[in-house]
Amino acid sequence: MPQTVMTLEKAELEDWPLKKLARKLEIEPEHAEDLLQRLQDARAVVEAENPAEAFRNGVAQSIRLAMELELESAEDVEKLVRQICYRAADLAYLLTVEGNSLARYSRHLRRAPDVEYHDGYFDEEE
């Protein structure tokens, strides 16, 4: 898997066509496109500006995937809840590593669209 990630990163950096990436990974182009998207999704979580943004990005990804798969049953909802709980556990780990509390990121977690966070305060975007 590390070699696959290195190949994906190189393909992204050099803007390879999907056919070339698929050939290098020995997979179908559709699967190569999916892997590139997963890499970008992972980056959105790992490279987020803070643990709250990492959590928000991860939850959004989980919900988008659930929407694509069209939730149809209580079991499907339970799977989504489980994924969000995993995201919460990841957030707890990040907070522990940083030595911070959830309260510190309360504003980040509650932010609304078109509101930007600056130095501890929210400012309406102009």
pLDDT in tens, 54-72: 999 999 999 999 999 899 9
* Residues 43 and 83 both lie in one domain: no
Do 58 and 48 meet the contact criterion of CB atoms below 8 Å apart?
Answer: no
Inside any domain, residue 120: no
* Residues 9 and 40 both lie in one domain: yes
pLDDT in tens, 10-32: 999 999 999 999 999 999 989 99
Inside any domain, residue 2: yes
d(CA 43, CA 35): 12
Q: How many domains does the chain have?
A: 2
* Residues 22 and 59 both lie in one domain: no
Q: What is the pTM of this model?
A: 0.75
Structure tokens, 53: 């943004």
